[in-house]
Structure formats: C-alpha cells, structure tokens
Amino acid sequence: MTDRQESASTVTDPAPPRPRPLAAADGVVAFNEAVNAHYRHLALAVPPPMLAAQPGQFFQLLCPGQGSGTHVLRRPMSVYRVDPAQGRVEFLYKVVGIGTRGLARLAAGDRLNLFGPLGKGFRLPAGARHVMLLARGVGLATLAPLAQSALALGTRVTAVLSAASPSLVMSAASLRSAGADVVVVTDADGSAEAERVEALLRRLVHERGCDLIATCGSARLLRLVQRLGAELGIAAQVALEEHMACGIGMCYCCVRPLRVDGRTEMRRVCHDGPVFDVREVTA
C-alpha cells in the first residue's frame, strides 16, 4: 500500500457531500463589526443550502463597488463560522483594497450577493483524538470551522495562533469557550519565531500525540508543518490562498503545481482545493 493509499484509508469523507455551486443569491447583513484595527467580522443571513458549508470551503462575494477601477472580480472568502440556528454564515476579513473597503461599509439590513459553498475542505482522520491548528493572522478564519467540527466529535483541539502583536490575535476567547486549548505566539515577544514555534509543536506532539496538523496563512508555517509531518509521521493539511476569478475551476486563474503520485501536475486551487495534503504542495 502506498503512502497516499494508506492516508486515504484512514480518513473520513466530509458529510454531507460537497454541494454543487449555487446560483448567486443575496444574503442580508446581520452585523459587520470591527474586531481590531485591521480585521472585521461579517455575518450574513443566507438561503438554507448555503448553510451546508464545510470547514475549509469558501464563498465568492460580490463586494460593493464592483466594476470601479480595478475592482472587477468577486472576492473569494473562507467561511469563518456557520450558525444554522440563526441561518447565518460568517466571515473574518482584512480591509486591504477596494472590495474589502466596500464590505466594511455594509450595515445591518444591507444585502450582499454571494455564491457557494465552493471548493474541497478539510478531512478529519477517522477516530482522531487530537488535532492541532496552526494559523497566522486571518488564516484563523479558515481553520476555525475545523476546530468547531472536531470539538463537536469529541476530538481534542489545540490552536496555536500567531500574530504580529497581542492586539491582532483573533478568536482566542471564543475558541477557548468552545473547548479548544489555545496558545498565542506573537512577533512582539519573539514567541512566533520559527525555532520557538517548532519547539512548541514538538512538545505538544510529545505530550498529547497528534492525528492531524492543519495550517493556513503563512508559507513559513506551511514549510514547518511539511517537515514535521514527514519526520513525525503525522497527517497534515493546508488551506492554500490564491488569486481567483471564477471560483469554480473554469478560468484556470488559480492553477499551481502540486506533487501528485510522484509527479508534478497543475491543479486548480478553487476546484481541487483549496485544502490539500501538505505533501502535495511544492512551495
């Protein structure tokens, strides 16, 4: 049995199956609040089929002002939380350009056009006892649903949250309240340095074991997870970030090389991912 076959035999497929892309629909803004100086938290009331979003999937948002200047495409955005009781999907986003500045102006009751859920998400190993999440900045938005899903199954979750400073760390309190063990590392005190994060991960694996490491938001952290996963024999997955146009695999805008069965193939991040086994990622 090959490594890939063995890995495939020890994971469970997401349930329910990934829905087909939806026709665009309007969501209604429930709230759109500042989290800190750079990030905002947006919640939308959406049609019921959109509540089937799985951890690691994303939506394409039609941000206000589309068509102005260089703002011509929808913005792909990872799902931060699904709240079936309220009929909402939620997003964390950083205000960086025309599209996200338009998002930041939305108020409760405004409408926002979106479609999804799109892409292939995370897969929890069957019978997983401990999952570690390693996120930098807004990468947490992609990993938070995986934490919620794992905790609901009784799996222990340790979330290592990396940021430039304590004021930019997001969702530590909500993850702790949900039952996750949270470790914060920052550039400000030097704890986010690669060597110290590696020492932390090794200690956690030694003390608690680990069935899956998931990461997003940093190439440096990805390389660390690749190396530790290979050395320690731990399954590891990454949610990749790429510029996207259509979001459904038709335009081939987000193609990148990945290693598949020992050869390099060009894969579409939006359609074949955005979540991949870290062993497949070439850079």
**pLDDT score at 10:** 38
Kindly list the distances between the CA atom of residue 197 and the CA atoms of 39, 213, 279, in Å, as whole numbers in the listed order.
Answer: 24, 13, 20
Say yes or no to pLDDT of 15 above 70.
no
**pLDDT score at 70:** 58
Instruction: Kindly report the length of the chain.
Output: 283
Mean pLDDT, rounded, for 166-182: 88
Question: How many other C-beta atoms can be found within 10 angstroms of the C-beta atom of residue 142?
Answer: 31
Mean of per-residue pLDDT scores for the chain: 87
Nearest by Cα to 160 from 168, 150, 172, 152: 172
Sheet holding 156-163, edge to edge: 181-186, 156-163, 130-136, 212-216, 236-239, 275-277
**pLDDT score at 178:** 87
Superfamily of domain 240-283: Dihydroorotate dehydrogenase, electron transfer subunit (2.10.240.10)
**pLDDT score at 73:** 81
**pLDDT score at 224:** 92
Cβ(147)–Cβ(172) under 8 Å?
no
pLDDT in tens, 192-225: 898 999 999 999 999 999 999 999 878 888 999 9
pLDDT in tens, 86-128: 999 999 998 888 888 899 999 999 999 999 999 999 999 999 9
Say yes or no to pLDDT of 4 above 50.
no
Q: Which fold has domain 122-232?
A: Rossmann fold (3.40.50)
**pLDDT score at 68:** 59
Q: Who's near 137: CB < 8 A, 6+ residues apart?
A: 94, 162, 163, 164, 168, 217, 218
Say yes or no to pLDDT of 12 above 50.
no
Nearest by Cα to 15 from 123, 128, 131: 123
* CA separation for the pair 48, 46 (Å, rounded): 6
Kindly list the distances between the CA atom of residue 90 and the CA atoms of 43, 115, 201, 237, in Å, as whole numbers in the listed order.
Answer: 4, 14, 29, 22
**pLDDT score at 14:** 41
Would you list the domain boundaries of the chain?
A: 25-118, 122-232, 240-283
pLDDT confidence bin for 67, thresholds 50/70/90: low
Say yes or no to pLDDT of 6 above 50.
no
pLDDT confidence bin for 227, thresholds 50/70/90: very high
Query: Rounded to an integer, what is the distance from CA 122 to the centroid of its chain?
Result: 9
**pLDDT score at 170:** 82
Which class for 186: exposed (0-12), middle (13-18), buried (19 or more C-beta within 10 A)?
Answer: middle
246's tokens = 């259509």
Kindly list the distances between the CA atom of residue 54 and the CA atoms of 82, 186, 209, 271, in Å, as whole numbers in the listed order.
Answer: 9, 29, 25, 14
Cβ(55)–Cβ(149) under 8 Å?
yes
Say yes or no to pLDDT of 172 above 80.
yes
**pLDDT score at 38:** 83
Superfamily of domain 25-118: Translation factors (2.40.30.10)
Say yes or no to pLDDT of 247 above 70.
yes
Say yes or no to pLDDT of 17 above 50.
no
Say yes or no to pLDDT of 261 above 90.
no
**Residue whose structure tokens are 């009331």:** 45
* CA separation for the pair 145, 140 (Å, rounded): 9
* CA separation for the pair 92, 210 (Å, rounded): 27
Kindly list the distances between the CA atom of residue 145 and the CA atoms of 7, 81, 109, 131, in Å, as whole numbers in the listed order.
Answer: 22, 6, 25, 13
